[in-house]
Amino acid sequence: MAETILRAEHMFKEFGATKAVTDVTFELHRGTVLGLVGENGSGKSTLSSMIAGVYPPTKGSMTYKGKEYKPGSVLEARKAGIQYLTQEQGTIDGMTVAENMFLGEEDSFGRGGMVNMGRLVARAREILNENGLKHVDPTRNIDDYSFEDRKMIETARSLSKQPDILIIDETTTALSKKGVERIYEIIAEQKEKGTAVLIISHDLSEVQHLCDEVMILRDGVFIDLLKGDDINPDNMRRKMIGREFEGSYYRGDFECTYEDEVVLSAEGLTLDGVFYDISFELHRGEILGFGGLSDCGMHEVLKTVFGAIKPTRGSVTLKEGNVRLHSTSASVRRKIAYIPKDRDKESLFQPTSIKDNIVAASLDKIKKGIFISPRIERRTANEQAGIMEVKMQNVNQMAKDLSGGNKQKVVIAKWLANDSRIFIMDCPTRGIDVGVKAKIYRLMEDFKRRGISVLMVSEEMMELIGMADRIITMKDGRRTGEFIRSDSLSEADIIEKII
């Protein structure tokens, strides 16, 4: 193995009660690409942030180039030769390109507190040219450039002084095909130059092609270090998830399967300032996905379909009975379920029991005359909690004390109890551990078999590709494309339409 450049030992990071990273030890080697994979929330960004000087570990130590390493800030880590690229915008509004490129390093362009702007701009020009960014003017305001240009400017900056360690944290997710290819080129170049590269990505085939070694994290804990032929998507997924799945994690088929019958349609839905002219038809047994960035308007589209927001124009029609939907109570009566993105604020009556939460949408069904039968109530709650395998002491336990995944099970149980025929799901697996995630995916497959339809919004491209029959993409409040389920659909195809 090549020379060790950084060794991190027994690293821990806790945020309040959250154990983000627990006792992880690993090494980075010169000229070697280490992949870091794990489900969302498994601690990947936390671990790399500690190397990059974002915050110190709760416990643990690092040795860098043979010396103890305790970066006090990102700038300090950068000066020491450790560069960290993330998915988020890393440049600062309201400053020029050149100022952004040398933030905190202006001193090296002047004397006695005076910065020689001419030299700074000239050096910026040089670096931009070397990195295929000839079209960027270093004296212009950085706000004038697109997200992708800004990301590439940031990347160029990070390479302006030869780094010893380059960390790329899900950067490729946010870029176009061209940007992604440039990142791949950079990785190859840096490897050649002896840089240690740490790359975090959910694209497992990307990881397979780029990496010499792959470290797997699950719930903040080190699971395995893979090398050679062991680095393949199936193996990585299995280790990330922690157990074998029958068939696959997502849907096992790549057919677009649903019945011809339309169960719900939206026509010209518009909410001024948020989304415009959204039309679609949802079929029986279909999973229709909406993909986009968080602020593209898709979350509001789902709320509007459910009747929680009144559109400026347009309508939603439930085909059965040919009724217009315009209130949440009408939607619930018509067997439409809504699972909000923020389940703590919007869907659970936190101060009450699991039982009360589960029966909340189906009181009509368990009423006898004007009385609610406690016996039927309890039976319904137990039945649905059992189907959803809610981990609890009993149904009288307070819902607020459950973990995120189990809360989501209770929310779903509530709508199952109501015999819902259409499920509107806004990021149904957000912040949920992999076991519960897989359970929700199996449930969605079961919905399809039973002719139940799903309207789903997700910010995770793999989830959309993995589960939806059709995917409608949105950007800035408008529909930008539609994809049909296929095994050749890639994250890059969708990302092109949403950024």
In the complex, the residues that contact Mg ion under the rule CB under 5 A are 45
Tokens matching residue 167: 């960390």
- Asked if residue 41 binds ligand ADP (CB under 6 A), the reply is yes
CB of 409 to ligand ADP, least distance (A): 18
Q: Using an 8 Å Cβ cutoff, are 254 and 485 in contact?
A: yes
Pattern of binders to ligand ADP over 211-230, x per CB under 6 A?
A: --------------------
**Can you tell me which of 29, 32, 38, 388 binds ligand ADP, judged by CB under 6 A?**
38
Q: State the minimum distance, in angstroms, from the CB of residue 435 to ligand ADP.
A: 15
Burial class (CB in 10 A: 0-12, 13-18, 19+), 343: buried
**Site for ligand ADP contains 18 (CB under 6 A):** yes
Of residues 45 through 104, those in contact with ligand ADP by CB under 6 A are: 45-46
> Shortest approach of ligand ADP to residue 39 CB, angstroms?
7
Give the residue with the Cβ less far from Mg ion, 103 or 221. 221
Determine the Cα–Cα distance for residues 383 and 117; give it in Å rounded to an integer. 71
Residue 23: CB minimum distance to ligand ADP, A: 15
Task: Give yes or no for residue 35 binding ligand ADP (CB under 6 A).
Answer: no
The stretch near ligand ADP (CB under 6 A) out of 43-51, 240-248, 314-322, 361-369 is 43-51
Nearest residue (CB) to ligand ADP, 54 versus 117: 54
Considering the complex, what minimum distance in angstroms separates the CB of residue 46 from ligand ADP? 3
> Minimal CB distance to Mg ion: which residue?
45
CB 26, min distance to ligand ADP, A:
15
Q: How far is the CB of 275 from ligand ADP (least distance, A)?
A: 28
Listed ranges 42-50, 145-153, 171-179, 389-397: which one lies at the site for ligand ADP (CB under 6 A): 42-50
41: partner contacted, choices ligand ADP, Mg ion, none (Cβ within 5-8 A by kind): ligand ADP
Residue 44 CB, nearest approach to ligand ADP (Å): 3
What is the nearest approach in angstroms of Mg ion to the Cβ of residue 315?
40
Residue 139 touches which of ligand ADP, Mg ion, none (CB < 5 to 8 A by kind)? none
By CB under 6 A, tell whether 403 contacts ligand ADP: no
Beta carbons of 91 and 158 less than 8 angstroms apart: no
For residues 329-358, which are near ligand ADP according to CB under 6 A?
none
Tell which one of 11, 22, 44, 301 touches ligand ADP (CB under 6 A). Answer: 44
- 22 is an interface residue for ligand ADP by CB under 6 A: no
Q: Which stretch, 38-46, 179-187, 233-241, 368-376, contacts ligand ADP (CB under 6 A)?
A: 38-46
Q: Which of 1, 2, 3, 15 binds ligand ADP (CB under 6 A)?
A: 15
Number of residues that bind ligand ADP (CB under 6 A): 11
Nearer to Mg ion by C-beta: 148 or 170? 170
Place of tokens 């005076």: 114
Cβ at position 58, least distance to ligand ADP in Å: 12
Closest Cα partner for 372 from 385, 383, 359?
359
Q: CB under 5 to 8 A by kind: which of Mg ion, ligand ADP, none does 42 bind? A: ligand ADP
Instruction: Give residues in contact with ligand ADP (CB under 6 A).
Output: 15, 18, 20, 38, 40-46
